[in-house]
Structure 1
């Protein structure tokens, strides 16, 4: 278990101070012990990491547990089976007697998959409504997001909206959350090591460009952290860029020229190899990343596989699910 799992922080003390049930949060941060009467706002600000809430009004209900795995989803069936489905199956294998539900956060993808394949995926809200109707009392929410960006905020929003409807609810973190600060785990370095298992062998004129998604949220800064850690860990000519954020491909191009790169391997840092990977990154259109690089004289290869296919990465997602489950089981 991570260090922060051993630190049930200020919310517990604050609950006692206020004489009311505040969300219990396992986090990397502790309020100064001199703070005896923290306000609800200060308490909320300290809630980071795996979120956990126990409803005192439902404490006498029998435990009936479920896990909801939340993903943006994809309309690409092949990659969905190799990534999302494979990850959910690995989580289910850890808990054979527990109900595990896959929920998509993209309503557009839900509609398209239903129309094209006849498969109906629930939203997280629909999944929780159904679990409540079926008598489930404790739920662990699991995220398949890469960073704690806008999609992850959707997940935590679901947690806060539904937590009082169940006896207990927890919400796990994204693949990368902790950065090694305050003696906590370094999820970013762990993920880089796992991702590196799929890196091709490099020569001095070879570069690897890792395509992330990007987000308008301030968590877009994670990509700078990832790049800094890649550099610190000794990965030469491996660059992160985003398709919908900063840094962009244009940001990376001068680095390729400066370092004398002639051959580039493109690969997505996304759970699935969907539209962004197949079209924006490796498509034949003149504005695809592959075409842009080729027009500038680079030889380009594309590794079109979602990171959910990488067992080392998938194992980390299972670990994040276990964090949420362990918090659910914690007394």
Structure 2
């Protein structure tokens, strides 16, 4: 059985404390199965392959992102974040990998740039003699895309001497002795909020996911409320809550003007079209049709310097776990 208490070991990070965590197994459990051991692993994941421990260390960081075909926002968000991670680790090879195969193909066709998938990046690193790899994620929450990241980790961890996987931007929620990534992220986002009058609101558009991790958006809203940020509401383009869910709150609060803002790494198709497009079914058009004045802040959160700093912290956590002997 799993004990309810977290066993926490704090490691001093590159620029901030890093926390690894796992549920501690009850002492009565003498022969834990591989599945039970895997289920107990949370936070930054770490694996060492026993038969490869005599290999020399040759290290790399793979930064995984969904990607975007919008070249301008890609430069300001993904590229800028990867550069910040590289700056924190100047002597380490840093590779960008995209998880969207469609986006990879479209960029290759339209720009002549071939981004690797995480699998391709790891295969190339292995062929080039790299033995230790830290995987860093640019995902916002641990949803479907982060599940892909974990799948890559699970499928390739035994091919390297050591491999780690960092967490998404928001992972810990302040439970037990863990950090509060959600509050930390909201406070970073708040730096880009416009000052609101009594009859104004901010609608933060998240992506949404069919996974149970969609519940993160309820946590985000609860943390927004705890911080005393009035008339700031989270909704999703492909999940719950939807725009239709939050619109009654606008009416109930006497809102007349709304600022739409994406909570996505990039300002791509969802931000430019679903959120702020000219089609009658865009969120902006729906709100205007309902009588609201609407502004659209079309910038990915990767443009926010404080958000980029948080992503660097997440990458540093993965790196510190790679360097740790514990």
Give the shorter-chain TM-score range: over 0.9
Counterpart-to-counterpart distance in 2, 1:62 and 1:183: 36
User: What is residue 237 of structure 1 aligned with on the other side?
Assistant: 231
Q: State the SS of the aligned residue for 1:181.
A: coil
Give the conservation status (yes or no) of the 8 Å contact 1:142–1:321: yes
User: What is residue 176 of structure 1 aligned with on the other side?
Assistant: 170
Alignment match of 1:56 (pick from 50, 58, 78): 50
Extract structure 1 runs of 4+ deviating beyond 6 A: none
Q: Alpha carbons of 1:28 and 1:39: their partners in 2 closer, same or farther (altered >3 Å)?
A: closer
Counterpart-to-counterpart distance in 2, 1:115 and 1:173: 32
Superposition deviation, residue 42 in structure 1:
1.9
Q: Alpha carbons of 1:265 and 1:4: their partners in 2 closer, same or farther (altered >3 Å)?
A: farther
Superposition deviation, residue 45 in structure 1:
1.2
The number of residue pairs the alignment matches comes to: 312
- TM-score normalized by structure 2? 0.94
User: What is residue 6 of structure 1 aligned with on the other side?
Assistant: 10
Counterpart-to-counterpart distance in 1, 2:91 and 2:289: 54
Higher strand share: 2
Superposition deviation, residue 203 in structure 1:
1.0
Counterpart-to-counterpart distance in 2, 1:38 and 1:313: 39
Counterpart-to-counterpart distance in 1, 2:180 and 2:23: 15
Superposition deviation, residue 5 in structure 1:
4.5
Give the conservation status (yes or no) of the 8 Å contact 1:28–1:182: no
Alignment match of 1:270 (pick from 248, 264, 267): 264
Which digits, 9 at most, give the CA deviation of each residue in 1:235-288, with x for residues without a partner? 100000000000000000000000000000000000000000000000011000
User: What is residue 328 of structure 1 aligned with on the other side?
Assistant: 322
Query: Structure 2 matches for 1:272-287, cutoff 5 A?
Result: 272-287=266-281
User: What is residue 309 of structure 1 aligned with on the other side?
Assistant: 303
Query: Structure 2 matches for 1:183-194, cutoff 5 A?
Result: 183-194=177-188
Counterpart-to-counterpart distance in 2, 1:85 and 1:40: 38
Give the conservation status (yes or no) of the 8 Å contact 1:79–1:274: yes
User: What is residue 10 of structure 1 aligned with on the other side?
Assistant: none
Which digits, 9 at most, give the CA deviation of each residue in 1:69-93, with x for residues without a partner? 0000000000000000000000000
- Greater RCO structure (CA 8 Å; 6+ sep): 2
Counterpart-to-counterpart distance in 2, 1:64 and 1:180: 35
Counterpart-to-counterpart distance in 1, 2:190 and 2:255: 19
* Structure 2 unpaired stretches of 5+: 1-6, 12-18
Alignment match of 1:130 (pick from 105, 109, 124): 124
Give the conservation status (yes or no) of the 8 Å contact 1:266–1:302: yes
User: What is residue 11 of structure 1 aligned with on the other side?
Assistant: none
- TM-score normalized by structure 1? 0.92
User: What is residue 198 of structure 1 aligned with on the other side?
Assistant: 192
Counterpart-to-counterpart distance in 1, 2:47 and 2:188: 32
RMSD over aligned CA atoms reads 1.3
Counterpart-to-counterpart distance in 1, 2:226 and 2:156: 41
Counterpart-to-counterpart distance in 2, 1:26 and 1:195: 25
Superposition deviation, residue 4 in structure 1:
4.1
Which digits, 9 at most, give the CA deviation of each residue in 1:151-186, with x for residues without a partner? 000000000000000000000000000001112100
Q: Alpha carbons of 1:4 and 1:312: their partners in 2 closer, same or farther (altered >3 Å)?
A: farther
Higher helix share: 1
User: What is residue 18 of structure 1 aligned with on the other side?
Assistant: none
User: What is residue 16 of structure 1 aligned with on the other side?
Assistant: none
User: What is residue 257 of structure 1 aligned with on the other side?
Assistant: 251
Counterpart-to-counterpart distance in 2, 1:220 and 1:108: 24
